[in-house]
Structure 1
Amino acid sequence: MTHGQPDDVQIERAGEQASPAAPNDQESVYHEQKVSWLELFFDLIFVVAFDQLAKRLGQTTGSAEHALNLAALAEFGLLFVAVWWAWAGNTTFAARYGNESRLYRWGTLAQLISLGMIALTLRGDLSDTGPAFALAYGAGRMIQAGMYWAVWRRGGEGAAFAGRMVLAFGAAAGLWLVSALLEGGSAAQIGLWCAALLIDVLTPVLSLPHQRRALPHEGHLPERVGLLQIIALGAIVTEIVGGSRQQALGWPNLLPALAAIVAVVALWRLYFDQARALPLLGARVEGRVGRMLAWLYGHLPFTLGVVVLGVGLGHGLAAAGAAEDALSQQLVAAALSGALLTLAFLRWNSLRVTHRFFPDRGLPALLLGAALAAGLAFVDLDTVGLHLAVAALTVGLALIVAGDPVTRRLGRLEEQVMERLERGQLSAMEDVPAGEGAAQRPGTAAGGRSSDTSA
């Protein structure tokens, strides 16, 4: 199959879309849902957003004493969660209700404008840009509320969940728009932002029963999430190149830059070696929506850790003294530890979906790696030593996870579940034998299935 092109062409009436099956349905009604050009464009806007956030963190985390500025870190974290959630709102809508309808296309085009305004306001001080950021974000949330309202008004299986999202997005949008009238960066404005984000986070958790009739596409959502991780990992390379430009080009600078790039490649391998669709398949087969949400929510700290890691590595290369080295070292240690800990959680979440015991060595290796990464903050290392240590740790973990038979078994299990779902022959995860299978290819969905291919 040519990447990005369907194997065959199916002509359907305008406006008709296959609806996802309810859990335990025996008849297969699955269809392939590829990522569209519009979705790729939408995701690429986050290259700008992540770059703006990275520059913001790099400019504000250090005080005159070169210590971590906790207030600046908290502000960065709040803005990052808001940006990530703007992406998640669009992505999950497309995965639930399709990405080819006029509703999605026009709604996403409108969101692109609001997202562009969000990216423009990310670098400035909130005292100046806070109202504009709130206005742009509130407008984006209103657009998403309108899209869910259209789904609710149309009725059908996903209408109940869509109705709850209309209320949630509408309430959150109202808080964002009201906060635009307040003083930029004030405690009242930040408090309204936190309340709005809390509504967004809690609504899917409190609507678990309704989500069983509006499950996201088990092939499309992992692909969109994977694309965002590629964007975040690419942002590390941008930070590495930008940091290297601050120093003379020579081996003292090239060696740590090369080590950082090797670490990025290892992190890519660690992420894409995971069986990324199993939690969504478990939700489809058995209605276990909580594990699917745990999978989705778990990507927030991973993406955050990757972006912060890029800032730490880039500033280490640009550092001109021991104090700056120490600050970068703290960022790198915390970010890498958080990213590895999140990978361990994602692996554990996939393991528990299978209802099987696997003698896994990848999970304890990731947990140990997270502890070792955190320990880097307490060792006196210069930039070269730190980057070499990070590269050695991530490469070692990537080799352990890639060589673990459990990684191949999880991939084979995911492939078999997908194949049986296509034939409508699966009612529970226990119905599928956990065979050894072929080795999983990195960069594809587990089990050798291309990440843009689903039932």
Structure 2
Amino acid sequence: MTHGEPDTLDIRRAGASAADPQDRNPSEYREQKVSWLELFFDLIFVVAFDQLAKRLGQSPDAGSLLRFGLLFVAVWWAWAGNATFAARYGNESRTYRWGTLAQIVSLGMIALTLRADLMDTGSAFALAYGANRMIQAGLYLTVARRRPAGAAFAGRMALSFGAAAALWLGSAAWPGDSAAQLGLWCAALLLDVLTPVLVRNHSGDALPHEGHLPERVGLLQIIALGEIVTEIVGGSRQQPLDAGNLIPALAAIVTALALWRLYFDQARSLPLLGARVDRRLESMLAWLYGHLPFTLAVVVLGVGLGHGLSAAGTAGAAGDQRLVGASLALALLTLAFLRWNSLRVTGRFFPDRTVPALLLGAGLAGGLLLTDLDTLRTHLAVAALTTLVALISATDPVTRRLGRLEERMLQRLEEGDQPDSVADALDDAPAARTADTSP
């Protein structure tokens, strides 16, 4: 697995100019670590997730859930745009640094508008998000002009981001939270989400870095998991610190730890490595898109757990229980999908027991929607369920074998010996170290 060391950046190949790190051979492997600027950019999402969580917690009805989902997808996609650009073209160029600084300003304005009613802030949100899309379009347009070999992909991405920006900016002319404005937002997001799939055949020379992007994605999951702790502390603040509050709060923290273990136990770079050596672009895109529902589920789970603590013993606790059950089921289903996607990259059959455990866990979590438990029993049941599934995954021999395969492939790339295929590296994987794959 890869671990970020912001003070040891070196993404230049020998003889390359520091002024233009984008000028490189895409087939040549280079180390690329997360920079301090990227860490600062990602930390903006601590505020964004917190604002979204507070917005949902105020009134978790169907309409609020739909608006929350729409805003969450927009915020997540703003993060994904920056992360994938850096993973494709490097994070040392002046273009990327200045573009990221500008995006941080736009994200700060976006965060300011997230908690308030869209009737009052919808136009401001649309303008801020449209500016963010324009910056992203400018970054890809710069790449298209400087790298003729990759102009087809970068130019199409720039066109898509520009069209999405026009829809966002145009939607600001409509009344806030109106059907017309929300419809334009949906159209713009659909354009953003579908573009990487539609232009994937042109992305061969702009594949994301196999170590850098999983590291950025992992950092975002840590931020989302940290939001669970924030919600737990906030919910407990309204209750006395006695056993009736401390025990369910402790169970909620254990749930967050179990989800952390479940996520980071996985071989998170395999789909990107498969795209590099086997051109399995679909698996890479499935890996990236799969993180959207997982991140959303974790944030919603935090809201459910936190509000369950603050509403313990009241009629509102039942609604929080349903929120916890549904979000945990979605999180476990997404983890099962990500695990299956990594297994599919290997092209081999493994007697994996983690995927069935995750699917069964998702079914049991969904069963909370049909039961009537109080806050204490709900939190204890959720903690026991996630901990059990995490233990099954941690002790599954396939978990270690996938991690060993990923480690061996990265090692060979660093040595300049790119395997011909994932199957080739799999045959050679037993020679790799057998260290634990968790961070």
Q: In the alignment, is residue 290 of structure 1 matched against residue 251 of structure 2?
A: no
**Structure 2 counterpart of 1:346:** 338
Whole-angstrom CA distance in 2 between matches of 1:2 and 1:386: 36
**Structure 2 counterpart of 1:447:** none
- Which moves more between the two structures, 314-323 or 144-153? 314-323
* 2:115 aligned partner, one-letter code: R
State how 1:171-186 maps to structure 2 within 5 Å.
171-186=163-178
Whole-angstrom CA distance in 1 between matches of 2:436 and 2:177: 48
Shift of 1:7: 9.0
**Structure 2 counterpart of 1:125:** 117
1:80 alignment partner, one of 72, 91, 102 = 72
Whole-angstrom CA distance in 2 between matches of 1:248 and 1:401: 36
Whether the aligned pair in 2 keeps the contact of 1:18 and 1:31 (CA below 8 Å) is no
Shift of 1:439: 4.1
Shift of 1:44: 0.2
**Structure 2 counterpart of 1:15:** 19
Shift of 1:9: 10
| Aligned-partner SS, 2:20 | coil
Q: In the alignment, is residue 201 of structure 1 matched against residue 193 of structure 2?
A: yes
2:90 alignment partner, one of 98, 102, 112 = 98
* 1:57 aligned partner, one-letter code: L
**Structure 1 counterpart of 2:423:** 430
Map Cα deviations across residues 190-232 of structure 1 (whole Å, 9 max, x no partner). Answer: 0000000000011100011111111000100000000000000
Whole-angstrom CA distance in 1 between matches of 2:142 and 2:171: 26
Whether the aligned pair in 2 keeps the contact of 1:20 and 1:217 (CA below 8 Å) is no
Whole-angstrom CA distance in 1 between matches of 2:383 and 2:289: 27
**Structure 2 counterpart of 1:221:** 213
Whether the aligned pair in 2 keeps the contact of 1:267 and 1:398 (CA below 8 Å) is yes
Whole-angstrom CA distance in 2 between matches of 1:78 and 1:38: 27
**Structure 2 counterpart of 1:442:** 438
Q: Report % sequence identity.
A: 71
Whether the aligned pair in 2 keeps the contact of 1:45 and 1:116 (CA below 8 Å) is yes
Whole-angstrom CA distance in 2 between matches of 1:427 and 1:318: 55
Whole-angstrom CA distance in 2 between matches of 1:104 and 1:127: 34
Whether the aligned pair in 2 keeps the contact of 1:50 and 1:232 (CA below 8 Å) is yes
**Structure 2 counterpart of 1:154:** 146
Whether the aligned pair in 2 keeps the contact of 1:20 and 1:214 (CA below 8 Å) is no
Map Cα deviations across residues 415-452 of structure 1 (whole Å, 9 max, x no partner). Answer: 11112223224111111214385142422xxxxxxxxx
State how 1:132-281 maps to structure 2 within 5 Å.
132-281=124-273
Whether the aligned pair in 1 keeps the contact of 2:312 and 2:374 (CA below 8 Å) is no
Shift of 1:180: 0.6
**Structure 2 counterpart of 1:55:** 54
Higher RCO (Cα < 8 Å, 6 or more apart):
1
* 2:210 aligned partner, one-letter code: E
Q: In the alignment, is residue 385 of structure 1 matched against residue 377 of structure 2?
A: yes
Shift of 1:159: 1.9
Map Cα deviations across residues 219-262 of structure 1 (whole Å, 9 max, x no partner). Answer: 00000000000000000000000000010111110000000001
Map Cα deviations across residues 259-317 of structure 1 (whole Å, 9 max, x no partner). Answer: 00011011000000011000000000011111100000000000000000000000000
State how 1:402-413 maps to structure 2 within 5 Å.
402-413=394-405
Map Cα deviations across residues 339-374 of structure 1 (whole Å, 9 max, x no partner). Answer: 000000000000000011110001100000000010
Whole-angstrom CA distance in 2 between matches of 1:236 and 1:157: 44
Whole-angstrom CA distance in 2 between matches of 1:357 and 1:20: 37
Q: In the alignment, is residue 6 of structure 1 matched against residue 12 of structure 2?
A: no
Q: In the alignment, is residue 31 of structure 1 matched against residue 30 of structure 2?
A: yes
Whole-angstrom CA distance in 1 between matches of 2:402 and 2:302: 30
The aligned length equals: 431
Shift of 1:320: 4.6
* 2:8 aligned partner, one-letter code: P
Q: How large is the RMSD of aligned CA atoms in angstroms?
A: 1.7
Q: In the alignment, is residue 46 of structure 1 matched against residue 38 of structure 2?
A: no
Whole-angstrom CA distance in 2 between matches of 1:177 and 1:46: 22
* 1:6 aligned partner, one-letter code: T
* 2:58 aligned partner, one-letter code: Q
* 1:17 aligned partner, one-letter code: P
TM-score, scaled relative to structure 2: 0.95
Could you tell me which runs of 5 or more consecutive residues in structure 2 were left unpaired when the two chains were aligned.
none
